[in-house]
Structure formats: structure tokens, C-alpha cells
Structure 1
Amino acid sequence: MTADPDAYREPLERAHAHARDWLESIPTRPVPPRLTADQVAETLMQPLAEHGRDAADVVDSLSEIVEPGLMAVPSGRFFGWVMGGTLPSAMAADWLVSAWDQNAGMRFATPGVAAIEEAAGAEILALLGLPSGSDVGFTTGGTTANFVGIAAGRQQVLDRIGWNLSADGLSGAPRIAVFAGRERHASVDLALRYLGLGLPIEVAADREGRIIPAALAESMRDVDGPAIVCLQAGNLHSGAFDPMRESIEIAHHHGAWVHVDGAFGLWAAASPLYRKHLDGLEMADSWATDAHKTLNVPYDCGIAVVAHPEAVRSAFAVHTSYLINASDGPGDPFDRVPELSRRARGVPVWAALHELGRSGVIALVERLAANARTLADGLSSLPGVEVLNDVVFTQVSLAFGDDENTRRVTRNLIADGAVWMSGSRWQDRDILRISVSNWSTDDADLAIAIDAVRRAMAG
């Protein structure tokens, strides 16, 4: 018997109330969580009761137990790692995705969400200036988006030399030479590990973390077999972009597949102000980004773009007697990602794009970069603060004298709780790293952040 719709009413109303309370607390609450994971677990780690409870009461308990352990990531004062907030339409769309309960793998079975994802994909290609015939897949995040792009590359470079990867696997296959800059993100290494390709050949990078084309050319000089080159749109510490056009031309001269890891920085291509940093981007073969970063949609939403649909579909498509496959045209959503079953991740992306519009996306990208510049300027005016990078996009890396003092300031800042900025290590120095990724960050948040760093230095 189909569930009574009334069974959902009270649990959803409770969830709505708790969500509202949480969101209304964000402007004034400290950013760090009040409890550690171990402290929250003390309450949760109990034997499962023999009998169940009322669904609405479960929702109340969930909120009560977990809320003290929540980081205020949606706050405009959160500058840790590279985590965006969530636009209102994207959050609401994500709720609808859960309520609709669609398995977004097949066009025939779930045409509504499949069509929305196809529309969102086409809009992303147009916004970023990527080839219009590319396949777009929605993955769990940036790491799996890198996995998809590199997997498609692995498929194609082995196909070119006559090795049937699908039938014969990697055992005995010619080794694929993979090249990546010394300051690549760890998610590239993870994707390569998942794909059985091992660590890449490291190519020298400049002081901002950009791959040096001449060093890439020298590294690839003797390549005569299958190869993949991984470039970066947005360095984790500096925000800098690899020289795309020159690097891609070198790679293609050697017959290599070029993949671009653009977890947060790929969105710079939408802006006339920042597109210049990505000249030649469209010449690559695949691209990856993470929509929860710069686009500000909920988590579980990476985007993989592949310029050669036959390569990605050869890597991921499956045909069985019990599935009703799309025979032509766009293909099925599961042709482009590792999963057969998944939620409709592209729906919040579509919602965010339509809440913003083209001009709104451009304004969002440019505002995030401008906020980073404002923070860098304000913080560099404080005695003893050193901005280590050229602030070309949304990342700022700071030092406060020696490593010991930088660690001290970072500890004080986190303990203060007014903002969250994360420590890291870059170019053999401990640093405080700022990522400006939240759509809601405003001038007041920036002023609070500068004051918080001032207090942390004095403490």
C-alpha cells in the first residue's frame, strides 16, 4: 500500500522548524562547533532500541544531539578550506530532490530530473566557454569529477594504441605516463590511485604553484606512448591558474589527453575579468569542478565535463537486459558517471543557475575574488602580517613571522570563534590560508575577519 502522505507531514514540519532555527542562528553564532565528534558520539553510541519511535520525535532528537557539533560552514565568516555556502534556491531544490526520490540514472525512468540535468549541463558549457558537444556528468564531488575525466582519458589513450581496456583490463597494458604540476591538489593523486595509474611525473611549478610549460615540454620530450597531462585551474594556496594554452599545446603535440582540475577555479572562466587567466581552457579534453564551492550549492555535487563523449561513455556506460537504455542522443545519465543509482545532483545546480542568471554567476565569481582582495589588503596593513601569494582569485595565504608565531595566531583565531580560517603549509612555511567561497560574505563579515586576526595576533 502506498504510504499515507500525512505520515510525512509532522516529521517534515519538525525538520523545517529545526532548519529555520539553524539558519537563523548563523549570523550571530560562533563559527566553530561547540562539541567534538567524541563528545557527540557519547550520546549517540547507545544500543539500538528494540522498538522504534515516532518519526517526528526522531527528527527532534537528531537536531538536539547533532546541532552542538555543527560547524557554521554557511556563515559569511567561514573562510576554511574551500567550502561555499548554499544559495536559497539550491537548498530548496535539494529538499525537493529528496522528496521526489528519483533515481537519476535513466532518462526513460526519470525523465524530469534527467532533462533538468541536461539543461544545467548545457548552461554550464555555455557559461564556461567549453565545447558545446561535451558530455556533462554530476558526481559526488571534485575528486570523483577528476576520476571521471581521467578515466575517460585513460580509455581514449589506450584505445588509440589498440589496447582494449574494457575487455582486457590494465594488466599487461602499456604504462600510461601521467604528468602533473608539483603543486597539484591531492584529489588528482587520489583519482590516479583509484584508476591504477600510480603517482604522476611531477613537473616543476613557479612560486605561485603554476606549472612551468618549459618544464612540461622537457618532461615530455621522450614520451612515445600513451600519456595524460593534468592541469590546474585554481591553486589551493595561491588561487593561481596553470598556463592553459601553452601547456595544452605541448601536451597535444605528444598525443596526450589533457584534464583540468578546476574544483573552485574553473568558474573563473565565466567572468570577463578572470577568463584571461584561463586562455586556451577550451582546448583541453576534460574538466572537473565542485559545485558546492564557487557555485554555492549543497554538498554531493561535482561536475565532470568531457569533450569526447565516446571516451567517457566507453568508460562508464553499461547495457543490460533489465535496463531501458537511451539508444542515442544524450545517452543516459549513468553513461557519464561511476554510479548506476544516485540522487538527482544536477537539480540544485539548475536552481542555482536560474536564481543567479548569467550576470549573477559572473557577479558572484567577481564578488568572491574582490572579497579576497579586500581581505588581503586589510590584513597586509596590520604590522607583522605577510601576504605570501599574488591574490589573483579567491585564495589568500598569510604568515606571521616564523612558523611558531603563525601557528600561535592560527590557534588563537580558531579559539576566538568569530571566523574560521584554516592552517596549512606552503613553500616550506606554516601559513594561515583564507578561502573566500561563500555567496553571503559581505563587507561586515570582512571587517569582522580583519578584527579577529588582529585580536589573534595580540593574544
Structure 2
Amino acid sequence: MTIDPDPLRSQALAFATGAEKGGKYLQNLSSRAVCADKANIANLRFPLPDNGMRPDDVLDLIESAGANGSVASAAGRYFGYVIGGSLPAASGARAMLSAWDQCANADTGPSVVAMESTAIDWVTGLLDLPPQVEGCFTTGATMANLTLLATARDRQLDRLGHARGKGLIGAPALRVVASAEIHATVLKSLRMIGLGSDNIEFVPTDAQGRMRAELLPDLDASCIVLTQAGNVCTGASDPFDQIAGKCEAAGAWLHVDGAFGLWARISDKIGNRLTGLERADSWVVDAHKTLNAPYDSGIALCKHPEEMRASMAIGAGYLPAVDPTPADLAPEFSRAARGAETWAALLSLGQTGLKDMVNRFHSHALDVAKGLRALGFEIPHDVAFNQVFATLPGREDACAEITAHVQNSGEAWFGPATWQGRKGFRISVSNWATTPQDIDRLIGAVRAALANTQR
């Protein structure tokens, strides 16, 4: 690679070319198939050449071989895995911040840290959490759960007389109590912090997928209780008020995994279903799901920030004493300024715009359920937020074929699912760009797929 006499000019030109190609990609998404065309992906796999390519040639190759090989999840007809799109201001911020190339620490990126800390304040205010709550940005809900569960582990062990510095060797046993339908990434986080997932005391759920608080075991100060805001199939949230009362009386730590569902809290229509949420000790929410910030952006929020710092902060002789800094609360020390993109997303929406978007997701989900019922599908739950699980009475096995037909049609994309022993598919409405016309196209694609299975 030859160094340009004006290297930053060269970088600026490549940056502009990449942004132009990205804009072209977005403008074509509404008319292309949602599924990926993998025909040219092999062109991205080859031995690394001896001599480097020009930046323009690299970008041309990415565009020609990779653009159609992407899933059009940024468009309004993608309904899988609760993957939102990216709001215009947040997407633009991503582009601009890529040029800044800031490391999100107080002494290496003061302006982006100011945006991050402000975004945390905005989020805690929007969710009506206690004023002492602080938090950090992570790559996603998995790392946010890991951060907070490690903090919970350390705090509970310390209360039992086992200090943080001792690790888990010789530590007293902790009890993990969880909803029977807790998300798999929470279980992964437990394994990564050394608590394991084989000895969890699972609490049965009701017909909506909510933890049955009356079936909680007797709790004590060794307990970490795992609940969720937003069941992945039904969107339902656990009864936090009832659970919190039992946790507070026993000295147990109450954690809420609300990757997408926590945002329902701000709705004037469905927010009351999350009453008591503020009584928890920690909360997880993603910005790259319901909020539609770019990937990746998880948020870990804690009512006991001093405990979080005790578990996460590091120090070194070459590091200045800067306070506060995001690295004191997060697993990562060096990372991109993902929180600044969340700041941009929130600022572009405002409180009213965010509430309207959340309500729109719920309204779209209600329309999806209505359209599917008209085709003969059963929705065996209330539409609590933006999730719809559908099955076909008497023909549950046909749901996999219907799902594959819709995916292959390119009209829409959603995935198969099983819930409480029933086979079906799950539709997640979480993209700001989804329109009523996109919902009509989705229902039309399911109608065509259903007709195809009946031949």
C-alpha cells in the first residue's frame, strides 16, 4: 500500500465513496428481496494478495460481491429476531463518528463520552428508573447481562462474607432463580461468569409466558432472581411488583432482562404492564433493537453503581485518574463510541417521537395478528407488545414449510419458532421503517405460502 502524500485526504475520499455506496444500497432495499442472494459471496473468499488493493477497488468489490449477499434487515419487511433498522440520524452519526475514530474513554474521546453519559441519563429518565441509576454501553444484551450478573454475583457473595478479590474459589454457593422462559443469552452470561446454568431454580410461566410469582421458591440473601420484560414469543413481561416485594424482603438481587421489551415502559397504552419495574436492582436493554440505533449497542443499567464500579473498574500506572469514565462500569476498556449513536437516535425522536414509534410497533403487531387470524392461524397469547407467535391448528408441522416459502419468496422474512410445546413461527415488529403497506405485503406472502401448502 502506497501512502498518499495527503493521507487524511485519501481517507476522506474513501469515506465519501463508502457513504455514497451505502446510500445507494438503502435506496434499493424496498424493491429487492429481503432474503440474501448468496451467488457472489464466494468472490469475497481468496488468499490475501501480496500487494494491497486501492481503497476504491476494495469498496467496489464489497459492493459487487457483498451487497446482495446481505439480508435486507434495514428494510421494513424484515420481521425476524427482533432486529430493528437504523434511524436516519443514528445512521448518519455512525458514518461521521467512524471518521472521528474515537475511543470511548474520558481522556481519549471527551465529546463522545459526554454524548454517552447524556444518553444514559435520557434512557433512565424515559424508563422512569430511580435517580441513582447509572449504566454503560456494551456490544449487546449478552454482554450487558454479563456485566450486571457479575456485579450481582460479587455483591451477593460480599454480603455473605466472601470478598470480590477472592473470586469463586472457596465461595459460598449462590442460588439463581429464573423464569422458565428466560432468554438463552442470560443463561450464556451465567456460564461465562462461572455460576453455570445447570442448577437454576426455574419458575413456571403462565399462558402468556410470564413468571408465576406465586410459585417463586423461598428466597434468601444468596439469591439472584432473573426476570424479563418482553418474552421473545409473546412480548409479555413478568409481574415485577409481586416479584420485587419478595426479593426485597429476602435481600435477593432482582435482575430484568429487557433487551427489546423494556422500551414498552414508555408507552401510554401498554406501559402499565411493566409496573414495579423500577424496584429491580439491574436492567438490560438494547438500543439496536426497539430504539433502532445501529448495531451494536446494548445498555447495562444498575441501581448500585458503586457495586458495578467495584466489579468492573481497572487501573494501571500509565492511566490518568479520570472520573467518571465508561470503562469503570463496562467489561471493555477500548471500544467504539456506540453510545453517541444512541444519543443521536434519541435526540432525533424526542420523547414524543419515541413514544409514537413504540406504539406504532404495537399497532403493527395487532394488525399482523388480525391478518393471520383471518387466514386461519391461531395466536395463542395476547399481543402484549411487538411479538406475534402464530400456529396453524391441526397443521402445526406445516408452519415450517410456510415460513420457508415466505423467506424464499423475498417478500418478507421471519423465522420458525416453538413456544410452550407448540410449533409455529414468530413475527417481530421492530423496524422504524415498517409501514402498513409492509404489513399488507407480509400477510399477502403468508397467504400465498398457505395456499401453496394446501395443494
Partner of 2:133: 134
Partner of 2:49: 49
Cα pair distance change 1:3/1:263, threshold 3 Å: farther
Counterparts of 1:396-415 in structure 2 under 5 Å? 396-401=388-393, 402-415=395-408
Counterpart code for 2:188:
L
- Percent of matched pairs sharing the same residue: 39
Structure 1 residue 224: Cα displacement: 4.2
Counterparts of 1:194-343 in structure 2 under 5 Å? 194-199=192-197, 200-216=200-216, 219=217, 221=218, 223-327=219-323, 331-343=324-336
Partner of 2:68: 68
Q: TM-score, normalised by structure 2?
A: 0.95
Structure 1 residue 117: Cα displacement: 0.5
Structure 1 residue 253: Cα displacement: 1.6
Cα pair distance change 1:164/1:418, threshold 3 Å: same
Structure 2 unmatched ranges of 5 or more: none
**Distance of 2:295 and 2:12 partners within structure 1:** 25
Counterpart code for 1:10:
L
Structure 1 residue 56: Cα displacement: 1.5
CA displacement, residues 297-355 of structure 1 (integer Å, 9 cap, x when unaligned): 1111000101101111011001211111324xxx2100111011000010110001110
User: Contact 2:19 / 2:95 at 8 angstroms: preserved in 1?
Assistant: no
Structure 1 residue 3: Cα displacement: 5.8
**Distance of 2:447 and 2:293 partners within structure 1:** 32
Q: TM-score, normalised by structure 1?
A: 0.95
CA displacement, residues 28-78 of structure 1 (integer Å, 9 cap, x when unaligned): 111000117xx61x3222111111111111111111111121000011111
Counterparts of 1:157-176 in structure 2 under 5 Å? 157-165=156-164, 167-176=165-174
User: Contact 1:10 / 1:56 at 8 angstroms: preserved in 2?
Assistant: no
Cα pair distance change 1:225/1:247, threshold 3 Å: closer
1:394 matched to 2:390? The reply is no
Cα pair distance change 1:225/1:281, threshold 3 Å: closer
SS of 2:236's equivalent in the other structure is coil
Partner of 1:22: 25
Structure 1 residue 197: Cα displacement: 0.7
**Distance of 1:84 and 1:5 partners within structure 2:** 33
Q: CA RMSD, aligned part only?
A: 1.4
CA displacement, residues 81-121 of structure 1 (integer Å, 9 cap, x when unaligned): 1100100000011112211111102x133211111111111
User: Contact 1:181 / 1:205 at 8 angstroms: preserved in 2?
Assistant: yes
Cα pair distance change 1:271/1:224, threshold 3 Å: closer
Structure 1 unmatched ranges of 5 or more: none
**Distance of 2:380 and 2:31 partners within structure 1:** 31
**Distance of 1:256 and 1:3 partners within structure 2:** 60
User: Contact 1:116 / 1:346 at 8 angstroms: preserved in 2?
Assistant: yes
Partner of 1:148: 147
User: Contact 1:122 / 1:132 at 8 angstroms: preserved in 2?
Assistant: no
Structure 1 residue 132: Cα displacement: 1.8
**Distance of 2:235 and 2:108 partners within structure 1:** 41
1:185 matched to 2:188? The reply is no
**Distance of 1:225 and 1:349 partners within structure 2:** 36
User: Contact 1:108 / 1:325 at 8 angstroms: preserved in 2?
Assistant: no
User: Contact 2:259 / 2:286 at 8 angstroms: preserved in 1?
Assistant: yes
**Distance of 1:269 and 1:155 partners within structure 2:** 29
CA displacement, residues 239-267 of structure 1 (integer Å, 9 cap, x when unaligned): 00000110111122221111100000000
Structure 1 residue 389: Cα displacement: 1.7
**Distance of 1:315 and 1:255 partners within structure 2:** 19
